[in-house]
Amino acid sequence: MIRPTRHTSLITSLIAIGAALVATLALANPASARPLGQTPRAATAAPVAATPPMGWNDWYTFFCDVNEQLVEQTADAMVSSGMRDAGYRYVNLDDCWAASTRDANGHLRADPTKFPHGMKAVADYVHARGLKLGIYEDVGTKTCAGYPGSYGHVQDDADTFASWGVDFVKVDWCNVPFGDFPGLSQQQVAVKLYTAYSQALKATGRPMFFSICEWDPKLRPWTWAPAISNMWRTNNDYGSQWSQTLANLDQEAPLAQYAGPGHWNDPDILMVGKMANDTESRAHFSAWAMLAAPLLAGNDLRNMSAATKATLTNREVIAVDQDPRGAQATRLSHTDAADVWIRTLANGDRAVMLLNRGDTTTRISTTAQAAGLPSAGAYAVRDLWAHRTAESAGVIAASVPAHSAALYRVSPLKDGAGDYPPATEVDVDPQVPPAYPGSDLHVAKAGQTITTVAGFGDDGRTAVTDATLNLTGPSGWKIDGRPVSAPAVSTGKRLSGTWQVTVPADAGPGSYTLTGTATYRWGDGAHAATARTESTVRVLVGPTGSPYLSDLSWLSATNGYGPVLVDKSYFGGPLTIHGTTYQHGLWTNAVASIEYYLGGRCSRLTADLGLDDSVQGQGSVTYRISADGRSIYDSGVVTNGTPTAHVDVPLTGAQVVRIDVGDAGDGVTYDNADIAQPRLTCADS
Ligand code: GLA
């Protein structure tokens, strides 16, 4: 988003000084104070933030569209969905709850249209359901969306929140008047302002969770925020793209040492239910649990799918997040394709996450020893999504589908253990070629034949017997090849086979599942067992006719602030460049990158490119367009003064078109770049 920060003009400073005077007067004259009783409640014994907070935040689904019905209905949904019973407590309002001005006495007030009964009534409603209320403010003169900030009013605002019965305060980092702090670095200003906020909240006497939303990782909040707050952001705003989950996860790889009971790294609000699919949502939730991250759901709790609810309420995964030791996971290994993360739990168990970062199914493995567990004859490996336990001789491995994670709780087994079936692995590897040479995108076309290799391995202490492995696919898919069998598969050994899989000629776009199924016996033949793994083949079909890019589903989209927006700017209005408004297009903020699948069907792309008129700042960006990795357009530096670029580029034969918006090397402030009327010319059928 646009952060209209760093206003150091004289006018802004004067406004701030005036505001500070009003606040001082208000404090000096308590008679002018709030209508509600200001006496803070006595502190309760319950520690704030002993484990990471769990709850909900409205921002990424509702932005400024908030009101008391939303909060109350969300509180009801938190109860009826079972989320409260699973540990969720906070119902948190983000920006835009406040009236645009303070009251005559300088106190904050809720927007009377959005909250006609006032914030105290909303808090009472939430509390009556055994839940807690969170609210949002900013250390600057205004919030990020332009509502009154706490600068010069900190104690008064903290007292207001306490008087309303607020339990959680998120404090943002927009519109900070750095000019008032000559000689101080931005980090020093942050420490000063957030320390004052922390003290003001404490001075109210009401325990309130303090969430620092200083979103600039350059200021390294993890080095100063633990002493004064309960959580702090470790990254800038993000979105629901897989790459954004990975970026925020990666950012925390070196930060484990800063988290612990009472104070937590915050990789931002959950995107469960907002990711591309349920598998990605589960992986994202697994990762946040490993990070001991705050679990603040960011979806609409009133309308969520059964899968989203099941993900958010998976108690075994929540138990990892909420483990009382509070030791954040560390990363044991990392490549572009796969990560292994380990978290030490209070009882000595290890949580192990095998994360497939990439676009194809990958076998990922580690060992109990590498996870730091003591030497033992065998280990119990509990799959926290399948809710099943198996016994391993020490290997912890799985064939992990694209963009997903396996999550285990591993503990040493005492001698003589043998109650669990042996840990086994089934892997299915459809060898779909890349969309073009060097591409990470593996998509199948209708009619294509794909060689698929599948395997079955034993990681238990003893051999399994009578093993058979087969591959099946969706109806209409032709699978050539027979099941493979072996009388026994011993520890560390693998049974494998190869099949030829043909996509039906009339297959539509979608993700299709191939299933590898192994049947075997264990425990000296006493027990029969089945193990399965699914792998997806993605089939895509290029566009027809003359569609707008913005009407198609993208392959991937990353953005500087928040998500790439379709047909509107960040402030909700239409895309506008130099006074021309556009019905169609994409709003981006550098550094952004968006890819679309063309399947070789399109010949041309036209678009108007330029910075959006909504913020006339010092933004500067570059646009680059490439087809199958080859550059076909480069705008050079574009500012608000650059005439609109009318682009018309050939795409002939390209599988993928990609548009990159760069920051022109001067940072990302005001870099709000439109891709307006982006229109393709493609084959008609
Ligand atoms: C910033 C924060 C977000 C959200 C918005 C509200 O961008 O980082 O989490 O609070 O402000 O305007």
DSSP state string for 354-390:
EEE-SSS-EEEEEETTTTTPPP-SEEEEEETTTTEEE
C-alpha of residue 172 to centroid of ligand 1, in Å: 7
Q: What is the pLDDT of residue 360?
A: 84
Instruction: Tell me how far apart the alpha carbons of residues 583 and 569 are, in angstroms, rounded to a whole number.
Output: 11
Is there a contact between 122 and 157 (Cβ–Cβ < 8 Å)?
no
C-alpha of residue 556 to centroid of ligand 1, in Å: 23
Instruction: Tell me how far apart the alpha carbons of residues 428 and 576 are, in angstroms, rounded to a whole number.
Output: 48
Omega of the bond leading into 591 within 30 degrees of 0 (cis): yes
Q: What is the pLDDT of residue 39?
A: 36
pLDDT single digits (tens) 630-669: 999 999 999 999 999 999 999 989 999 999 999 999 888 8
| Partners of residue 494 on adjacent β-strands | 457
State pTM to two decimals: 0.83
Q: What is the pLDDT of residue 675?
A: 98
In this predicted structure, which of 46-50, 132-136, 674-678 has the lowest mean pLDDT?
46-50
Q: What is the pLDDT of residue 42?
A: 39
Instruction: Tell me how far apart the alpha carbons of residues 609 and 586 are, in angstroms, rounded to a whole number.
Output: 10
What is the CB < 6 Å shell around ligand 1? 1, 59, 94-95, 143-145, 172, 213, 215, 237
Does residue 682 register a pLDDT over 60? Answer: yes
Residue of 2, 172, 235 with the most ligand 1 atoms within 8 Å of its CB, for mutation: 172
- The 10 Å CB-count burial string (b at 16+, else e) for 585-596 is bbbbbbbbbbbb
Contacts of 205 (CB under 8 A, 6+ apart): 40, 41, 42, 43, 162
Higher pLDDT, residue 1 or 594: 594
Q: What is the pLDDT of residue 418?
A: 59
Ligand 1: atom nearest CA of 562 is 7
Taking alpha carbons only, the member of 453, 487, 481 closest to residue 468 is 487
The token pair that represents 190 in the structure block? 């942050």
Query: Which amino acid residue places its CA nearest to atom 6 of ligand 1?
Result: 95
Query: Which amino acid residue places its CA nearest to atom 8 of ligand 1?
Result: 237
Instruction: Tell me how far apart the alpha carbons of residues 304 and 314 are, in angstroms, rounded to a whole number.
Output: 15
Distances (CA, A) of 134 to 126, 184, 225, 226, 497: 10, 31, 19, 20, 55
Mean pLDDT of 403-427: 90
Instruction: Tell me how far apart the alpha carbons of residues 659 and 624 are, in angstroms, rounded to a whole number.
Output: 6
Strands 90-92 and 54-57: parallel
C-alpha of residue 174 to centroid of ligand 1, in Å: 9
C-alpha of residue 173 to centroid of ligand 1, in Å: 8
Q: What is the pLDDT of residue 359?
A: 83
Q: What percent of the chain has pLDDT over 90?
A: 86
Point out the residues that are catalytic: 172, 237
Ligand 1: atom nearest CA of 233 is 8
Q: What is the mean pLDDT of the chain?
A: 92
Residue of 2, 58, 59 with the most ligand 1 atoms within 8 Å of its CB, for mutation: 59
Higher pLDDT, residue 255 or 16: 255
Is there a contact between 664 and 620 (Cβ–Cβ < 8 Å)?
yes
C-alpha of residue 144 to centroid of ligand 1, in Å: 6
Is there a contact between 367 and 396 (Cβ–Cβ < 8 Å)?
yes
pLDDT single digits (tens) 446-464: 999 999 999 999 999 999 9
pLDDT single digits (tens) 220-241: 999 999 999 999 999 999 989 8
Contacts of 2 (CB under 8 A, 6+ apart): 561, 570, 589, 614, 615, 617, 670, 672
pLDDT single digits (tens) 553-588: 999 888 988 789 999 998 788 999 999 999 999 999
Ligand 1: atom nearest CA of 94 is 10
Residue of 3, 237, 268, 669 with the most ligand 1 atoms within 8 Å of its CB, for mutation: 237
Contacts of 601 (CB under 8 A, 6+ apart): 542, 543, 544, 682, 683
